[in-house]
Amino acid sequence: MSESYSAAYAAAGVDITAGYRAVELMKKHVARTMIPGVTDGIGGFGGLFQLDVAGMARPCLVSGTDGVGTKIRIAQLMDRHDTIGIDCVAMCVNDIICCGARPLFFLDYIAIGRNEPEKVAAIVSGVAEGCVQAGCALTGGETAEHPGLMAPQDYDLAGFAVGVVDRDKMVDNARVRPGDVILSLGSEGVHSNGFSLVRKALDVENVDLNEWSGELGRTLGEELLRPTRIYVKPVLAALQAADIHGVSHITGGGFYENIPRCLPQGVTAKIEKSALWIDPIFRIIQRKGNVSEHDMFNTFNMGTGMVLVVAKEDADKAASALNGEGMGARVIGEIVPGGEDRVVLC
């Protein structure tokens, strides 16, 4: 028996040896994320990262934190836990890329009722995959067993990302002006927002999530578990190629809350609904939940996971850069002189 074992702690519901086993299982996933700057491996008290600011006049660190919300319930119902970590990374790095920050490293936090090493390793495998897609390192994390507070099968997942941007090149809303065009970057379905409404509208506790849907081209469970798309590399490419004036991540609050976050006062985002590609899942949610169009656009991304506001003369260059990163982009509207409404759908 290892010296690091407590029979009393185990009797209270916490198996520290399961934690050690989980760390061993996740090491191979963490190793995939190692990038220049990481100066220590998993297991220390703090993750070390040596920042390279060469070529930056005024380096500025940018941080973002988020969780996955009740989408985790879908993972539990499907008993599939290897994609939910991608969502967690995406929700953080997609936020910090909105100001042009390149993600450097990520840390996660898993609270779980009972530590099942294979389940924890599966969750972390998704986190690692998200970090690979974002080009950042997974430098640490924490798994906390919560017997008595959470049911044995329950868990929650959150994390945070830190990135860097040259303050002189930071994207803000100061240069957004009438005549700019709005580019849509497509989503992978619902992403990770509005799942309390999704679960209610679709009655997920009482339907067969493994039943094939011809309308979706996959099962409902597969559709709802599609991980949030990570936009870091495409947006960085667009920033290099074109004059980008604003970026918004379309998360909770949908169009009406998130697009105004990249707009200055005095302008309005005019969106052409006919230009949008609205994934079938949103039509199903709206129909089965009897949800108004306004509430749909005020809750979900509706097929647009991110928008870029770009100078009209640079729209083609931006789209070309995005397409080069495998990210189809389409013009969905323009910036017009503002009225009372910050976003208008027409």
What's the pLDDT band for 18 if we cut at 50, 70, 90?
A: confident
Q: For residue 175, count other CB atoms closer than 10 A to its CB.
A: 14
**Phi, psi angle pair for 259, to nearest 5°:** -60, -40
Measure the CA dihedral 198/204/208/211, to 10°: 10
> Are 158 and 192 a contacting pair, CB within 8 Å?
no
Q: What is the DSSP string of 221-274?
A: HHHHTPPPPP-HHHHHHHHHHS-EEEEEE--TTHHHHHGGGG--TTEEEEE-GG
**Phi, psi angle pair for 119, to nearest 5°:** -70, -45
Q: Is the pLDDT of residue 200 over 70?
A: yes
Structure token digits, residue 279: 């994934």
Render pLDDT for 269-325 as a digit per residue (tens, 0 to 9).
999 999 999 999 999 999 999 999 999 999 999 999 999 999 999 999 999 999 999
> Are 84 and 156 a contacting pair, CB within 8 Å?
no
Mean pLDDT of the residues in the chain: 93
Using DSSP's 3-state secondary structure scheme, residue 38 falls into strand
CA distance 70 to 13: 25
Render pLDDT for 219-240 as a digit per residue (tens, 0 to 9).
999 999 999 999 999 999 999 9
Q: What is the pLDDT of residue 8?
A: 73
What's the pLDDT band for 41 if we cut at 50, 70, 90?
A: low
C-alpha distances in angstroms, 31 versus 83, 124, 148, 185, 206?
18, 11, 33, 30, 40
251-261 mean pLDDT: 96
Render pLDDT for 164-196 as a digit per residue (tens, 0 to 9).
999 999 999 899 999 999 999 999 999 999 999
- Name the CA radius of gyration of the chain, rounded: 21
